[in-house]
């Protein structure tokens, strides 16, 4: 019976050579990413740069995205209401969290749209699909928010109205 040389202890510790070299169109053969001065930061420096980038993101969203401004206005009304509604702590988290989720999904949708517009402004089926999927995600978040508020605050409102 012949013994397989790849099962030897030396073969297990030696790295396997690739069977063929990577071609120029192989995604693994791409050049390394350009130097990013923020990737080397650690600890508080990294957190500080991340906070500055986040604040810039909020500024851009408020300045450039009307849907985000509308949802932010709604959040400015609903978040305080959600904290003062006489319900248990979990319900407070659900009320406020559902509103914040809408803002999160809107920011992600806006970033997808900006990236697609950066690539090309020409009409393309895949660009349309990506933008439509982002819009659908915002709609799902809005429906979740409405359902959460209706199920938690709805019965209280009915009781307050005397029905």
For residue 141 the two structure tokens come to: 């978040």
Q: Is 123 annotated for ligand binding?
A: yes
For residue 129 the two structure tokens come to: 């699909």
Q: Is 68 annotated for ligand binding?
A: yes
Q: Is 129 annotated for ligand binding?
A: no
Q: Is 42 annotated for ligand binding?
A: no
Instruction: Find out whether 69 and 62 touch, Cβ atoms under 8 Å.
Output: yes
| 106 assigned to active site | yes
Q: Pick the catalytic residue from 14, 20, 106, 125.
A: 106
Q: Is 92 annotated for ligand binding?
A: no
What interhelical angle do 43-64 and 89-119 show, nearest 10?
80
The Cα 107–Cα 115 span in angstroms is 12
Q: Which residues are catalytic?
A: 106
Q: Per the annotation, where are the binding residues for a divalent metal cation?
A: 65, 113
Q: Per the annotation, where are the binding residues for substrate?
A: 46, 67-71, 106, 135
Q: Per the annotation, where are the binding residues?
A: 46, 65, 67-71, 106, 113, 122-124, 131-132, 135
């Amino acid at each position: 019976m012949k013994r397989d040389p790849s099962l030897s202890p030396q073969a297990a510790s030696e790295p396997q050579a690739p069977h063929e070299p990577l071609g120029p169109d192989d995604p693994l053969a791409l050049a390394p990413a350009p130097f990013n001065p923020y990737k080397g930061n650690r600890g508080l420096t990294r957190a500080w740069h991340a906070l500055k980038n986040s604040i810039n993101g909020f500024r851009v969203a408020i300045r450039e995205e009307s849907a985000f401004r509308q949802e932010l206005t709604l959040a400015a009304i609903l978040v305080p209401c959600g904290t003062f509604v006489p319900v248990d702590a979990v319900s407070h988290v659900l009320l406020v969290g559902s509103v914040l989720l809408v803002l999160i999904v809107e920011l992600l949708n806006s970033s997808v749209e900006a990236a697609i517009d950066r690539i090309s402004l020409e009409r393309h089926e895949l660009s349309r699909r990506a933008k439509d999927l982002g819009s659908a995600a915002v709609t799902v978040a809005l429906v979740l928010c409405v359902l959460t508020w209706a199920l938690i605050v709805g019965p209280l409102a009915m009781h307050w109205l005397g029905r």
